[in-house]
Amino acid sequence: MRQKIILDCDPGHDDAIALLLAARHPALELLAVTTVAGNQSVEKTSTNALKVCTLARILDIPVARGMQRPLLHPPHFAADIHGESGLDGPDVPPPAFPLAAQHAVDLLIDLFLHSDGDIVLVPTGPLTNIAAAIRREPAIVPKIQAISLMGGAISVGNVTASAEFNIWADPEAAAIVFACGRPITMIPLEVTHQALATEEIIGRLRAMQRPVPTFVADLLHYFADSYRQVFGFPAPPLHDPCAVAAVIEPDIILAKEMHVEIETQGAWTVGRTVCDIYAKTGLAANARVGYALQVDRFWDLLLDTIQGYE
């Protein structure tokens, strides 16, 4: 039995690679791709999702456009990392098929209401779509099998001194999701910063000599330049595929159960994921928070899957 998942994303270089992993790995059945404003506007992230699906011939999965702004705040994008298109670098052909007619929030509600509670949500962008669906139709909550999300940090952030981008982009939405009561695996920066796409990894992709692996290598080349210029990283961290990998092989992530609160009002800490590592709050754990990655296993899993594309 393949695990059913929905990928909620904001492509984005690493989201694009997460999509490729989710659509092709034999352990998963990708039911839908929903898009949200985050790395770029929702119009751009939606177009990027369609482009990736077109290039990889992922033509039988609906791609639905979602929320264009956070619940309470103006949107902020990550053009310094992902470029003006959200997917700068490679030359990607235009989409060969349209977006789904349904709004992403409506599609999420329909899929969960008509499910047997066997769908895992994999959000790799701001949590606006998920929170909006929960607020509009609370009956979906018990139908969510689990949530495996990329977001947050145990310690320092990457968009402010305290916060990681996905949570900071819509902290109120994150607060709703973390309070929903369903099993959550949180893949923070501490995990994803171990998934560094080195030149050796990019070389392995180019050696496959096929369009999709070459596309991934080109994505990582651009991503590497961005991370070198903005953060001084020697290689770019591949954040979002870690959330998909955690569904395929849960023990690929070393994690600890803890309570996580989302800071929504701090003068310096809006968007911080406050992780109660030592159980000081007395509050019940609401998330399985990753702290380490089985790095070699992760790259073998990802590269073996990408090698399956033409």
Active site residues: 10
Closest CA relative to residue 191, chosen from 78, 81, 294, 39: 294
Q: In terms of C-beta density within 10 A (0-12 exposed, 13-18 middle, 19 or more buried), how is residue 62 classed?
A: middle
Residue 276 structure tokens: 């109660």
| Pairing label, strands 119-123, 144-150 | parallel
Q: Which tokens sit at 154?
A: 């145990």
- Residue entry with tokens 């994150």: 174
Question: 19, 36, 260, 23: which is closest to 170 by C-alpha?
Answer: 36
